[in-house]
């Protein structure tokens, strides 16, 4: 059984997604902030447009749809498992179950969960988002993110994942008052062993700040 120790109740923010993929969260005071993925995705936007043009819209939509479905399903299985639910794999797609089972041993290293699928925000950073999990990983308080991938990825391939988890770390500190120094990416890889990346928050703050500035400059 996974233990929970939520330090503070946080409101569940409403979000709105536009046709171009931009998402905005509405805070309790009525102000709106762009999502973390909207801000950090700005640097990849051109590359994605070029890829879609190269492979064609139909193929691109098919590939994106499969990846989105698989990612959503695996995330849901992780969430239900960490919530100590039973029967959570009933009706799940076989490929999603296989990827989930590959990372399950690493999920078992999580405990004393503070938040799962919780909305976080920062007016200082100018964005908001929904964190996968904040809890202890191997005994250390960490921001934990669950990812799926069709191929094996290196540290250099996922720099934006570290910016994302760094953003949630800083949001947590702004809202709760305690710093989180550890970032953990647990990645299920299709037909391959899973990958786990562990980093320190302080090593990615500069990259996050640059990514936020890039977004502002492109607006």
pLDDT along the chain (219 residues), means of 10: 94 91 93 96 70 68 71 94 94 92 98 97 97 98 96 93 98 97 97 97 97 88
Delimit the domains of the chain by residue range: 36-218
| pLDDT of amino acid 58 | 75
Phi, psi of 144 (to 5 degrees): -115, 130
Q: Which CATH class is domain 36-218?
A: alpha beta
| pLDDT of amino acid 46 | 62
| pLDDT of amino acid 218 | 80
Tokens representing 24 are: 């905005």
Whole-structure pTM value: 0.92
| CA dist., res. 148 & res. 140, Å (int) | 23
| CA dist., res. 216 & res. 201, Å (int) | 22
Other CB atoms within 10 A of residue 94 CB: 7
């Amino acid at each position: 059984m996974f233990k929970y120790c939520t330090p503070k109740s946080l409101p569940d923010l409403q979000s709105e997604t536009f046709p171009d993929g931009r998402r905005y969260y509405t805070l309790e005071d009525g102000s709106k902030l762009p999502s973390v993925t909207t801000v950090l995705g700005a640097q990849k936007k051109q590359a994605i447009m070029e890829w879609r043009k190269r492979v064609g819209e139909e193929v691109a939509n098919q590939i994106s749809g499969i990846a989105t479905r698989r990612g959503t399903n695996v995330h849901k299985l992780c969430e239900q498992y960490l919530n100590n639910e039973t029967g959570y794999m009933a009706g799940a797609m076989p490929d999603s179950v296989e990827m989930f089972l590959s990372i399950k041993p690493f999920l078992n290293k999580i405990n004393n969960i503070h938040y799962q699928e919780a909305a976080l925000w920062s007016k200082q950073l100018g964005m908001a988002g929904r964190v996968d999990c904040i809890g202890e990983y191997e005994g250390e308080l960490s921001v934990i993110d669950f990812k799926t991938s069709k191929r094996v990825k290196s540290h250099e391939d996922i720099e934006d994942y570290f910016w994302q988890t760094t953003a949630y770390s800083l949001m947590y500190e702004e809202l709760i008052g305690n710093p989180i120094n550890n970032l953990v990416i647990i990645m299920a890889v299709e037909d391959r062993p899973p990958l786990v990346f562990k980093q320190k928050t302080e090593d990615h703050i500069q990259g996050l700040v640059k990514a936020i500035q890039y977004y502002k400059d492109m607006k």
